[in-house]
Structure 1
Amino acid sequence: MEFAPWPTQNWPDGVPHEIHDYDMPLFQLLDDAARDYPDQTYTIFSGAPRTFAQVKDTADRIAHFLHAKGIRKGDRVAIFLPNLPHYPAIYFGILKAGAVCVTCNPLYTPGELNYQLTDTGARALFCMDHPQFYPTTEKAIQGTDVETVVVCSVKSYLPRLKGFLGGLLGKIPRAARHAPGHLMFDDVVARAQPAPPAVDIDPTGDLALIIYTGGTTGVPKGAALTHANFVYDLMALDAWARLVYEDGGAVEGIRRGGHHCYLGVLPWYHSFGMTCAMLSACASGSRLICVPDPRAGDPPFTEVLKLVETHRPTLMPAVPTVFVAFTNHSLLDEFDLTSLMGCFSGGAPLPPEVCRRFEEKTGAVIFEGYGLSETAPVATANPTFRDRRKIGSIGFPMPGTNIKILDADTGRAEMAPGEDGEVAVCGPQVMKGYWNKPEETAEVFREFDGRRYFLTGDIGHVDADGYVVITDRKKDMILVGGFNVYPREVEDILFTHPKAALAAVVGVPDAKSGETVKAFIQLKDGETCTESEIRDFCKENMAGYKRPKAIEFRDTIPVSSVGKVLRRVLRDEAR
């Protein structure tokens, strides 16, 4: 049963309203790329390339190794790594063994990692040979079901001379010691055979991934996603993208077989970077630049700018704080960034002023989308053309996806067009549920017309032109004297102040009005500003009840490892 075409006159030309034939194992993407483009580069790390054939060979060996260690279909295997070239081979190797990937933030503390390993019952773990990450692993696996630990060194995939010199000079990071029984990645790959076990995968029923979400709003929960969830989302993104490759040239989709290069600036443990960079590059036979630490360099993000100039990426999925880092970088004009064609923004609302500045300085086009870890992650996207996108909106549902706006209190009644309510998503990318949490799963699903809709926790509406507009997070809404204030709306205005680099807005208790608005502002490097300047600016640009009653300047505003402003942290501090 298909959805009716989304009601808009601005649906992008050539994009289908439905996606078919996504019922296949996720690892088939790598097998197909290695068959069609065996000698084409997949990953680039520190100047060293790895072809699709090489990555497939390693993935097959990882699968063989895991099977020999007793890992069977449905078992969970964790990846505790930054964006290293090991990552795709390990990821696909786990899937080829029939197991389920558990992707973990490499910056987690031992307690945070232990929670995920315990919750999923992971039996094996891949970690980095590093003086910080490896000791974290040692502590985190205590009391868990983890029986096998594989330690990955960056030396494995460095150019030979750089690896030799790095080892000679002691510049390659490694742990001081390794626990008995822990295995080295190179030894595992060398001893295993490129012969994955024969595993029968049900793409729509069998899990591919458990990814943890909710850290910015509550206790983390494992979103359980199937192979088909991701394959559908990748096919929908491929169908959605339309680019103009030459001035005055025809509009085309993503060219395959090495034409494109993705900048892997987002972490691959997170669904945004995983799907829109690591997996998308594989699906299109494109190159992928590994960026383990996007903040590297002096000033921060300088190394990313160098990578753009050297390797000429054409596509970059990123969160708004990355675009801010680019546009505010003091050395930006010294680098050639003209290779960038299309940039997909998500993970957090994109302030219109940030979009304008980035495009003005790079020539690329940003199209904003929307999704969650629970939706693999893309649920909606703006058209990839300047004349069809609507800045400030999140565009239209992806092909084969539907959106409903439901009452924010119960999630059981549909709102009238144009009215705010909770955004609910139905489509092939929506997760099966939260891992081992049936009650929490039941709370976030509603059934309409025999279909299951996921309650996102975000407030929004559909405007007169059919564009979906996110007003704010349901839990972040501020109630000022009976008026609803949505932090994003205030933040978007603050972003237009010429001295502001980042802004965050939260509600704080007030005896008179219930709550008042407090703004946290991070200034651009070298700028100074007073509270009175900000108050005068707000007076000119927003209604009285929306204006921040308290203003605090911060050297840095806390963000998550994927660039989301942590309003919860600021709200707790303010209260």
Structure 2
Amino acid sequence: MADEPIWTALYPDGLSAAPPHVPTSLVTAWSDRVAASPESPCLIYFDSTLTVRRVDDDSDALAAHLQDRGVGRGDVVGVQLQNIPQFAIAMLALWKVGATVLILNPMYRGGELRRLIDDSRAIGFIGLDREGEEAASTLAGSTVAWRMTTSDLDLQSEDDPRLFEDAARVVVDGADDLLTAVQENAGRTPSAAEVRAEDAALLTYTSGTTGPPKGALNTHRNVLSTAVSFNAWQGIGAGDVVLAVAPLFHITGAVATAAATLISDAPLVFINRLHPEVMLESFNRHRVSVTVGAITVYNALLALDRGDAADLGSVRWLYSGGAPIPPSTVERFQERFGHYIHNIYGMTETASAVIGVPPGARAPVDGGSGTLSIGVPLPGLDARAVDTDGREVAAGQEGELQMRGPQVMPEYLRKPEETAHVLSADGWLSSGDVAIIDEDGWIYLVDRLKDQINASGFKVWPREVEDALYEHPDVYEAAVVGAPDEYRGETVTAYVSLRPGSSTTAAALQEFTKERLAAYKYPRHVHIIDELPKTQTGKIKRRDLRDAV
């Protein structure tokens, strides 16, 4: 169509820029799958396979139990689990009773966890049994009226020692056991709950660019718009197998992996927390065709002593979200494993993946910044780059990335001022990311606004320096920050971890970047450390490095 955005020329065949048609709710979409293919495989966990019917029956039983516990429409329940089948079953059960799933990172402890529980006013909590006693202490006196635990040893029998060494099931006083609740309520169905498109399906906390964590409310419409669009983008259907690598407690895993797969015809493979050897073996074992993971996941595969293209023989597409990929990493991975890593981009506020490289396409590199494109807007999303006054900049110019579409959240939970700060009256979401959109619609993410380094009045984006470092064969991971400097204002400072067996020096790395960057951009200080600090979702924590300088 002539009035479609320019970037639709890059779309997979048959797709248009129009917002995808979505069911009323995730419950409706799930019911459609149950009706269409009840005996097909749904969830795979090592040597165990649960059919669609089994998952539907188990989530019905759990939903009936939750209603007995008083959980209903609009209630918030925290789920703090690794990538195991119980996570998906719990999400479905909560959606069936009209509740909102508060996804919680298992690394959250003590006050950090309690602050999110208090802010969300969660009435229930589902977590791992081995963390049950600590959670009970943390949640004492909170709004949480009941607790439930489950073991990641359940629903499989292999007990792979690489993941389950010294693991044991734990009985937690005062907490229900999830599978026991399922068994005791077998055959029951919950009372029908009216679940509307505008009801909150997920509550995910994000620190954003400033201030304390904020709870982004992703509605059923938001989640479905992203999930349906991403499935269509990849051509997901019968015959595909999706590997859950991105943590389900992160928006990418919860939506682009879990929700998207649950409403498709493809089974979802779980391998618990990430172990690179287990991940590599899972590709061939389960004939995985698609996965999405942070770039640190693919770096972990590259760091293995074994593995080549034969191990990924069933793969159609690989996607990476969370942070843009250095071009050199993409090339190195394809050379060894035979597959191109496609960028995908999204935010908690957009219910995950909304910009991506078309399947089978190679992302261009921006000549000015050296940045690999994150792709083009997926169906239903509009995007633009604006200056500090909110005016759209010309193609090829830097500006803040803004997005608008049915994927965008309506609000932060009970934070109207913070909502108004990022959402305009006409629906544009300000990302906090600096981007370039070229004349063909390719989007290049330069960096975060808050991470810009001002060295002697010159603007330096950490990403550009990091990409230069990644070109060195000995560099495993790199992060660049600005260190306070009385003379320059800020000094470009690099932290690097090396590949096993490497012996390069900080001085050699500095010289390497000097050959590739302008004089004001190369790092004046290079620190070689064993491992860069990361979040549990695999993102490098620049903030921790800034605090250390």
TM-score tier after normalising by the smaller chain length: over 0.9
Task: Look up the match of 2:134.
Answer: 136
Q: 1:383 aligns with which of 355, 358, 372?
A: 358
- The whole-number CA distance in structure 2 between the counterparts of 1:570 and 1:261 is 38
| 1:523 aligned partner, one-letter code | L
Task: Look up the match of 1:6.
Answer: 5
Q: 1:156 aligns with which of 150, 154, 157?
A: 154
Task: Look up the match of 2:190.
Answer: 196
Task: Look up the match of 2:233.
Answer: 240
Task: Look up the match of 1:57.
Answer: 57
Q: What TM-score comes out, normalization by structure 1 length?
A: 0.90
Q: Is the 8 A contact 1:379 1:425 kept in 2?
A: no
Change (3 A) 1:551 1:218: farther
Change (3 A) 1:172 1:509: closer
Task: Look up the match of 2:368.
Answer: none
SS of the residue corresponding to residue 394 of structure 1 reads coil
Q: Is the 8 A contact 2:46 2:271 kept in 1?
A: no
Change (3 A) 1:512 1:170: closer
Task: Look up the match of 2:399.
Answer: 421
- The whole-number CA distance in structure 1 between the counterparts of 2:4 and 2:514 is 43
Deviations 1:50-70 (A, max 9, x none): 111111111111211111111
Q: How does 1:181-330 map to 2 (within 5 A)?
A: 181-192=174-185, 193-203=187-197, 205-214=198-207, 218-241=211-234, 253-256=235-238, 259-295=239-275, 301-330=276-305
Task: Look up the match of 2:431.
Answer: 456
Task: Look up the match of 1:493.
Answer: 468
Q: How does 1:498-513 map to 2 (within 5 A)?
A: 498-513=473-488
- 2:525 counterpart of 1:550: yes
- The whole-number CA distance in structure 2 between the counterparts of 1:30 and 1:153 is 25
- 2:476 counterpart of 1:482: no
Deviations 1:278-335 (A, max 9, x none): 222222221211121213xxxxx22222222322211110111111111221222497
User: Structure 2 regions of 5+ residues with no counterpart?
Assistant: 366-370
Task: Look up the match of 1:119.
Answer: 119
| 1:103 aligned partner, one-letter code | I
Task: Look up the match of 1:471.
Answer: 446
- Quick one: percent identity of the two aligned structures? 32
Note the aligned Cα RMSD (angstroms): 2.2
Task: Return 332-341 or 508-517, whichever deviates more.
Answer: 332-341
| 1:476 aligned partner, one-letter code | D
SS of the residue corresponding to residue 188 of structure 1 reads helix
- The whole-number CA distance in structure 2 between the counterparts of 1:75 and 1:279 is 20
Task: Look up the match of 1:34.
Answer: 34
- The whole-number CA distance in structure 1 between the counterparts of 2:132 and 2:102 is 17
Task: Look up the match of 1:347.
Answer: 322
Change (3 A) 1:415 1:224: same
Q: Is the 8 A contact 2:309 2:338 kept in 1?
A: no
**Structure 1 residue 215 displacement after superposition:** 6.9
**Structure 1 residue 12 displacement after superposition:** 3.7
Q: 2:422 aligns with which of 444, 469, 472?
A: 444
**Structure 1 residue 480 displacement after superposition:** 1.2
Q: What TM-score comes out, normalization by structure 2 length?
A: 0.94
SS of the residue corresponding to residue 158 of structure 1 reads coil
| 1:433 aligned partner, one-letter code | E
Change (3 A) 1:404 1:290: same
| 1:254 aligned partner, one-letter code | I
Q: Is the 8 A contact 1:519 1:551 kept in 2?
A: yes
Q: Is the 8 A contact 1:367 1:389 kept in 2?
A: no
Deviations 1:39-90 (A, max 9, x none): 2111111211111111111111121111111112101011111111111110
Change (3 A) 1:72 1:254: closer
**Structure 1 residue 115 displacement after superposition:** 1.2
**Structure 1 residue 29 displacement after superposition:** 2.8
- The whole-number CA distance in structure 2 between the counterparts of 1:136 and 1:469 is 43
Q: Is the 8 A contact 1:41 1:49 kept in 2?
A: yes
- The whole-number CA distance in structure 2 between the counterparts of 1:20 and 1:3 is 19
| 2:237 aligned partner, one-letter code | R
Q: Is the 8 A contact 2:271 2:278 kept in 1?
A: no
- 2:500 counterpart of 1:525: yes
- The whole-number CA distance in structure 1 between the counterparts of 2:334 and 2:35 is 37
Q: Is the 8 A contact 1:37 1:52 kept in 2?
A: yes
Q: Is the 8 A contact 2:4 2:17 kept in 1?
A: yes
- The whole-number CA distance in structure 2 between the counterparts of 1:505 and 1:32 is 48
- Number of residue pairs aligned between Structure 1 and Structure 2: 540
SS of the residue corresponding to residue 442 of structure 1 reads helix
Task: Look up the match of 1:434.
Answer: 412
Q: 2:375 aligns with which of 377, 395, 405?
A: 395
Q: Is the 8 A contact 1:10 1:388 kept in 2?
A: no
SS of the residue corresponding to residue 134 of structure 1 reads helix
| 2:218 aligned partner, one-letter code | L
SS of the residue corresponding to residue 454 of structure 2 reads strand
| 1:220 aligned partner, one-letter code | P
- The whole-number CA distance in structure 1 between the counterparts of 2:262 and 2:499 is 37
- The whole-number CA distance in structure 2 between the counterparts of 1:572 and 1:374 is 27
After TM superposition, where is structure 1 displaced by more than 3 Å over at least 4 residues in a row?
Answer: 8-13, 169-172, 215-218, 387-391
Q: Is the 8 A contact 2:209 2:450 kept in 1?
A: no
SS of the residue corresponding to residue 10 of structure 2 reads coil
| 2:190 aligned partner, one-letter code | P
Task: Look up the match of 1:173.
Answer: 168
Q: Is the 8 A contact 1:341 1:363 kept in 2?
A: no
User: Structure 1 regions of 5+ residues with no counterpart?
Assistant: 242-252, 296-300
Task: Return 36-45 or 331-340, whichever deviates more.
Answer: 331-340
Q: Is the 8 A contact 2:242 2:269 kept in 1?
A: yes
